[in-house]
Amino acid sequence: MSAATASRPPRRPAVRTRVLERGEGGSTITLSTLPEGLRVVTEAVPGARSASVGVWVGVGSVDETPRLAGASHYLEHVLFKGTRSRSGPEIAELVDAVGGELNAFTSHEYTCYYARVLAEQAAMAVGVVCDVVLDAVVAAPDVDTERQVILEEIAMRDDDPEDTLADAFAAGVFAGHPVAQPVIGSVDTISAMTRGQVAGYYRRRYSPERMVVSVAGGVDHAEVMHWVRTAFAGRLGEPRPPRPPRTGSGRLGRVRPLAVVERDTEQAHLCVGVRSLPRDDPDRAALEVLSTALGGGMSSRLFRTIREERGLAYSCYAGTSAYADVGSFSVYAGCQPENLGEVAGLVRRELDDLAGGGITDAEVRRAKGQLAGSLVLGLEDPESRMSRIGRTILTRPDHRSVDRSLAEIAAVTPGQVTAVAARLLTGHRSAVVVGPYAGTDDLPGAVAELVR
C-alpha cells in the first residue's frame, strides 16, 4: 500500500442518482439509490399544492409461514401505535392537526405506509412515516388491542359479500400458491399470534434494502433526500444492493372449479375467472384491452348485455390481478338469486365468444382509447403519482414511463387480443358464488356449466 492511498479515508460508496422521466405536466421523476440499498424516488410536480409521501416495504402475506398468516397486515396496524420517540396519539395529532391523512395498506407482495399533506408539511410527513416504519415499539398491550381491531376487520370482511367473494375467488383460482391466502389472515392465526412473533417478523423483514421511499407533489428531489437521510440517520446499516423484485414461488396446484359461501343476502354474487398473466408478461397490455372490452365501462359487453339491455344486475365488470409469477382475469356480477342462472349463461356466452375470436376491431380501438385516456387522467393527483412511481420501483426491474405504457397500449392489435383471449379463456375456469345457497348443488345449472 502506498503512502498516498493509505492517507485517504476509506471511500464511502456514492449515492447513485438519475432522472427517470420528464413526466406529465412538466414533472420530473428522479431516483436515488443509497449504498445501503434504500431507494428514494420523487416526482416534483410544478405548482402542486400538496405532497404524498409513501414508504413501500417489500413485505406481504406471501412472505408468511402458515402460523404467521396475517402477520404483515398485523404489523401495519401495530406500527402506528407508537415509536421510541412518539406515542400513538402524538403521531395521529401531528398529521390530523394540519388536515393531513396518514394510513397504510397491505397486499400480498408489499406494504405501503403513506401520508398526504399540504406541500409545506412534506418534511413533517416524511419524518413521521419513516419513524413509524423504522422505529415502532411493538409493545405487548398494543399488539393485544390491535388483535381485537383486526378481528373486527375480519368480521367486516365476512359481512361484505364482495370482499368475501374476492378472497374466496383467489383461494380457488390460485389454489396451491401463496397469493391464494387472504392478506388479513384468519381468526385462528390472529388470535394465536404473540407479541414476540409480530416483533420478530418486523425486525427480520423491515430492512432498508427492501424499502422504497416515494414522494410526489410540490417538493424537489434534493430536499426530499435531506429529509430521508435525517429520518434514516443511524438506521441504514451496511452497504448492500437493493433487494431485486420478487420472482414468485412458482408453486401452483389445480384450479378449484366451483365453490359457494353461504350468506343470507338479498343478492347472489358471482365471480368467475381464469389464471392469466404475471405483472411483467409482454401480453399484459393485450389482456387489459380484452378485460376493458369485456367489462371495463358503460360500453363494455357485460355492462351492455347484463345491465343495459336486460336490467339483471346493478354492478357487473371484468378485471385483472397481477403478481410476480401469477395473475387472474375475472368477471363479477351481483344479481337477485332468481336471475343467477340467466346471468351465468350470459357471462359464459361472452367468455366463449371472446375465446373463439369474437372481438371486433371497433371494440379493440375503443378499449385502447379508454385505457390510454384513463391512464393520463389518473395521474392528476400527487397520490396516484406517488403510488405509480413507488410501486414500480419496488416491483419491477426498471422504471416504466407513462410514454412507454401509452406506447404499449397503442401497439396492441386485434390479433394479439384474440390470441390472448384464445389462450387464457380456454383454460380451467374457477367460479365462486356468495349468497343464499347451502352448497354447489343448490346453484342453477348454468353456474356449473360456466366451469365445465
Alpha carbon distance 110, 200 (integer Å): 18
* Residue range at the interface with its own copies (CB under 8 A); choices 5-13, 153-161, 190-198, 204-212: 153-161
CA atoms within 13 Å, Cβ hemisphere of 312: 25
Alpha carbon distance 96, 110 (integer Å): 26
Task: Identify the residue among 15, 107, 139, 153 touching its own copies (CB under 8 A).
Answer: 153
**266 touching its own copies, by CB under 8 A:** yes
**288 touching its own copies, by CB under 8 A:** no
Question: Taking the CB of residue 247, how many other CB atoms lie within 10 A of it?
Answer: 9
The pairing of strands 429-435 and 111-118 is: unpaired
**CB of residue 38 vs its own copies: minimum separation in angstroms?**
27
Q: What's the burial of 278, exposed, middle or buried (CB within 10 Å: 0-12/13-18/19+)?
A: middle
**155 touching its own copies, by CB under 8 A:** yes
Task: Identify the residue among 23, 382, 390, 444 touching its own copies (CB under 8 A).
Answer: 382
**264 touching its own copies, by CB under 8 A:** yes
**CB of residue 223 vs its own copies: minimum separation in angstroms?**
20
Task: Give, as ranges, the residues between 89 and 108 that touch its own copies (CB under 8 A).
Answer: 89, 91-93, 95-102
Comparing CB distances to its own copies, the nearer of 117 and 324 is 117
**CB of residue 114 vs its own copies: minimum separation in angstroms?**
14
- Nearest residue to 179 via CA among 249, 80, 101: 249
Residue 248, helix vs strand vs coil: coil
CA atoms within 13 Å, Cβ hemisphere of 187: 6
Nearest 5°: CA angle at 289, between 356 and 214? 145
**346 touching its own copies, by CB under 8 A:** no
**CB of residue 157 vs its own copies: minimum separation in angstroms?**
9
Compose the 189-228 pattern: x for residues touching its own copies by CB under 8 A, - for all others: ----------------------------------------
Task: Give, as ranges, the residues between 69 and 88 that touch its own copies (CB under 8 A).
Answer: 80-81, 88
**CB of residue 262 vs its own copies: minimum separation in angstroms?**
11
Alpha carbon distance 53, 62 (integer Å): 25
**CB of residue 321 vs its own copies: minimum separation in angstroms?**
21
Is 162 a known active-site residue? Answer: no
From the list 21, 64, 76, 146, the catalytic residue is 76
Radius of gyration (C-alpha) of the chain in whole angstroms: 24
* Residue range at the interface with its own copies (CB under 8 A); choices 33-41, 61-69, 227-235, 260-268: 260-268
- What are the helix (H) ranges across 296-428? 301-302, 340-355, 361-377, 382-395, 402-411, 414-425
How many chain residues bind its own copies (CB under 8 A)?
79
* Residue range at the interface with its own copies (CB under 8 A); choices 110-118, 195-203, 208-216, 424-432: 110-118
Alpha carbon distance 350, 348 (integer Å): 5
Q: What's the burial of 301, exposed, middle or buried (CB within 10 Å: 0-12/13-18/19+)?
A: buried
**25 touching its own copies, by CB under 8 A:** yes
Q: Distance from CA of residue 63 to its chain's centroid?
A: 15
Comparing CB distances to its own copies, the nearer of 1 and 298 is 298
Compose the 291-310 pattern: x for residues touching its own copies by CB under 8 A, - for all others: -----xxxxx--xx--xxxx
Alpha carbon distance 236, 202 (integer Å): 16
Inter-helix orientation angle 402-411/284-295, to 10°: 70
**231 touching its own copies, by CB under 8 A:** no
**CB of residue 126 vs its own copies: minimum separation in angstroms?**
17
Task: Identify the residue among 61, 111, 267, 418 touching its own copies (CB under 8 A).
Answer: 267
Task: Give, as ranges, the residues between 112 and 141 that touch its own copies (CB under 8 A).
Answer: 116-118, 121
Q: Which residues are catalytic?
A: 76
